[in-house]
Chain A
Amino acid sequence: MNFEIFIQHLFNGVSLGSLYALIAIGYTMVYGILRLINFAHGDIFMIGIYTAFYGSVFTPLPWWMVFIFSILFTGIFGVILEKAVYKPLRKSPRISILISAIGASFLLENLAIVVCGGRPKAFPIPDMFNKVFYLGNVSVVSLTFYIPVITLITLLGLLYFINKTKTGMAMRAVSKDYEAASLMGIDVNKIISITFFIGSSLACTGGLMWGLKFPQITPLIGVMPGLKCFIAAVVGGIGNITGAVIGGFILGLGEIMLVAFLPALTGYRDAFAFVLLIVILLIKPTGIMGKNLTEKV
């Protein structure tokens, strides 16, 4: 392997890793605040992609307006989903909410099959994301530059929001204790809705980038990214936003480098993610950036 090829692999890895990171941020944030593993995250991601798809096919709006609309719509969708399937169970054991999340995930997937059909659709790509640049023999699609930037902006924005703003402080308070937070005058329902709004909007942002990179959309498009990003979140330390980004990059780069250095193991690319999950759970169950929390489950 010469240097150019290595750089090409590196770009491929960064491109994939930053995408995983972007989706994992939303996953981990919802967990961090609510201690709820939202298994429907991948399906909210799918709803976001389909909204953008139908928006750009059936309306004459420019793509950026469609994207903004889908991000807002998906956010609101997430809030409604929380009110419908998680809120009634808020006082139940955590395992009930977990099962409810899995149920919601199946419901959304099958609903999408009925409404949108099982055949894949082609996601429309605006030209600016599809340009190819050549650095010597290394080729890079313009999208590869945008995704890490968006991921970084999201990360910094979210860190600022959670740590420096009043709403962020309220979110942190809710994450520690619902009841104590509400005694302090925090509207817990509102905070949870905000959390879901942000989490779902992030899922949609990740989904849009995913659609631009892999323009084949199906009702089950969210399943694999959902799993991979869950792993990325666990590897980074679930609940920790910076950790999710690190986990995403480890996963993306790892997958690409596995194929690059050990071509014989190409067929085991997906297995890499799951092996990584098992190894992390054995060695450091709290993940790379995770703190030791008292187990609530």
Chain B
Amino acid sequence: MKKIYVSLILVVSMLSSLFLAGCSVKEKEEEAQNVDENVIRIGVFEPMTGASAAGGEMTVEGIKLANEMFGDVLGKKVELVIVDNKSDKVEAANAASRLIEKNKVSAIIGSYGSSLSMAAGDLVKSAKVPAVGCSPTNPLVTLNNDYYFRVCFIDPFQGTVMANYAFNELKAKKAAIIQDVTQDYSVGLSKYFVDSFKELTGDKNSIVGMTSYNTGDQDFTAQLTNIKQTNPDVIFAPGNYGESALLIKQARSLGIDVPILGGDTWEAPEFIDIGKEAVEGAVFSTHFTSEASVTDLSRKFMDAYKEKYNKEPNTFAALGFDDYLVILDSIKRANSSDSQKIRDAIAQTKDFEGATGYITLDENGDAVKSAIIKKVKDGKFSYLDTIQPK
């Protein structure tokens, strides 16, 4: 037995030394590449695999489209360095530090998913490289971090919008919450929904049930059976599109027929593919709709997107598109590819015309924008309403 351990340790140490040696060689090669002065690098870290893969991929489609349409700034070519953060917090931090240290990017775009963005928060702060998130909606992403910005609204607003919808449109008096405890997005959004719903109903006991699951879970029957006993008028269940679709499917087959509401992550084609007729009638808030486009750029974006990808444009592509343009505009105003100067220019972004609307960043670096409410109808996401920020 002992022999095995000794040989194992030897093997591991040999392998790791090989690996480390390999790394240092590679680093030198990449440093050599970095000398090219005529290129400005923008790093993109998005989930291309794992539980949030669809969201990341849609976002990257938008970013690539923007890069194709507007590929130059200050007479230099803009190069995208895209890395996969695998929908994993640890990998997200690795991806961000790779962008900063190896690829020496001037600014960073990303990421879909609040937890993933927060994993990179301290890194961009200490490296003083500005990051602009496309769709992380948890307030903590930008709070106390001068180098993190975003082009979307935040969850206190989104939670209020959905609570208002439940109370005013659905006339709900009792709500139940099902949250994904491993996602800061889901936990945060649930909390704001609860606060707002309690205030609207004036009833401290209006939240009749609260239960949780983890990203990657497939079976929700036990939690749903518990929720069923509490007889809510509405269920609020923000979470990844995949888990949420399975959850709704299982809820319907357990005989739970009350409306189920969620957040912006639900807008992925997979949500409908997996949930099929079970997700009919699901209502959620999001950032963009092609039915009520707001700016000239929206139309340009939609036409270009349809032409390039041959499908209907979506929220996350639009946010990725805007994110890239905000950074590009800031580089132009800063007149430099220096990260610190770009950061200062991003912070001053005001009334910038994007595909999702006019973007003005507040003192925390958050965009103040209107929310769109959508509903799944006949196997499609259909536009219900636009809610203006207060």
Contacts and interface: CB of A to CB of B under 8 A. Distances in A.
Contact of A137 (B48, B249, B253, B255): B255
A141 interface: yes
B57 A120 contact: no
A154 interface: no
Given A120-B270, A139-B255, A215-B274, A259 B246 contact: no
A9 B225 contact: yes
A102 interface: no
Given A216-B242, A266-B211, A267-B181, A118 B223 contact: no
B41 to A, nearest CB: 24
Contacts, number: 105
A119 B57 contact: yes
Interface string B18-57: 0000000000000000000000000000001111011001
A111 interface: no
Interface string B169-181: 0000000000001
Nearest to B221: A12
B348 interface: no
B154 to A, nearest CB: 25
Nearest to A140: B253
A44 B88 CA distance: 24
B225 A267 contact: no
Nearest to A223: B216
B213 A266 contact: yes
B57 A118 contact: yes
B254 interface: yes
A175 B73 CA distance: 69
A123 to B, nearest CB: 8
Q: Is the interface of A mostly helix, strand, loop or mixed?
A: helix
A16 B219 contact: yes
B273 interface: yes
Contacts of A139: 253-255
Interface in A116-145: 117-122, 132, 134, 137, 139, 141
B213 A120 contact: no
B85 to A, nearest CB: 11
B214 A122 contact: no
Interface in B75-96: 84
Contacts of B216: 224
B293 interface: no
Interface residues of A, number: 42
A209 B323 CA distance: 42
Given A8-B254, A95-B4, A121 B273 contact: yes
B229 interface: yes
B8 interface: yes
Given A266-B213, A267-B181, A120 B222 contact: no
B216 to A, nearest CB: 6
B251 to A, nearest CB: 11
B144 interface: no
B276 interface: yes
A122 B255 contact: no
Interface of B: 4, 8, 48-51, 53-54, 57, 84, 181, 211-214, 216-219, 221-223, 225-226, 228-229, 242, 245-246, 249, 253-255, 270, 273-274, 276
Interface of A: 1, 5, 8-9, 12-13, 15-16, 93, 95, 113, 117-122, 132, 134, 137, 139, 141, 210, 213-216, 218-220, 224, 255-260, 263, 266-267, 269-270
Pick the 4 closest A-B CB pairs, nearest first. A118-B49, A259-B222, A122-B273, A12-B221
